[in-house]
Structure 1
């Protein structure tokens, strides 16, 4: 199964998330580990499973901080390939050992306060146009 087939789901959540509430700055805890369900429980969300495969488990989650994708991976390499491909869609990525949470900036900052991890930022394509023209006029 190609992991890149799952990227549109991550892009959809980013589009749905919009601009969320900003989280306050607080100390970053040690990076969490565990199954998708245990990570979801830590951030108080009930995962809506989208993919349940040996190499990738992916769910849409929502909690008081907003909506996000939570994914766990069988291998470090699989995780890095998924992140590298997903970053083309923009967004914010909270990265832990064999897991990633994807959402808007405020959601990722809030999740980091519970799960720890490192924040990575995707490519911003807002100034690009697919057809060479301006997306907005006036």
Structure 2
């Protein structure tokens, strides 16, 4: 029986695209000072909803790149940085995507059936808006 599994090659391509966008965000010269919603307190409860609902909460106008039953992915550009936001039909599909994507490095903010990929300063800001858990990918080159 086939449920909505994301083929590995598709997941890897999406992860590479997501991390490419995150890498571009790292070239803005921002150093992450003064996160607007940080306040140094605990993050809010983990956000749930559609891609558009999550993007609205994060003050992003999403540019949808992938729109499939099992995965929706958009690029977001905001005042606090650029990131990729992906939503998933299943928890399993989400975990498979994250596990494949982590091979490329990067920082991930993980919620219930959604993931954001960006540089650490943007992830910190997003966590103040969306909640979630921060996960880090593998670092293959120590000289970056």
**Moved >4 Å (runs of 4+):** none
Unaligned runs of 5+ in 1: 129-134
Deviation for aligned residue 1:127: 2.1
SS at match of 1:12: helix
Contact 1:21 1:65 in 2 (8 A): no
Partners in 1 of 2:57 and 2:65 — Cα distance? 19
Aligned to 1:21: 31
Deviation for aligned residue 1:113: 0.3
1:51-90 → structure 2 map (5 Å cutoff): 51-90=66-105
- TM-score, length-normalised on structure 1? 0.87
Unaligned runs of 5+ in 2: 1-5
Task: Say whether 1:12 aligns with 2:12.
Answer: no
Measured against aligned partners, the alpha-carbon deviations of 1:14-60 in whole angstroms (never above 9, x if no partner) come to: 22011643234332100000000000000111111110000000000
- Number of aligned residue pairs: give it: 129
Partners in 2 of 1:14 and 1:36 — Cα distance? 18
Contact 2:19 2:118 in 1 (8 A): no
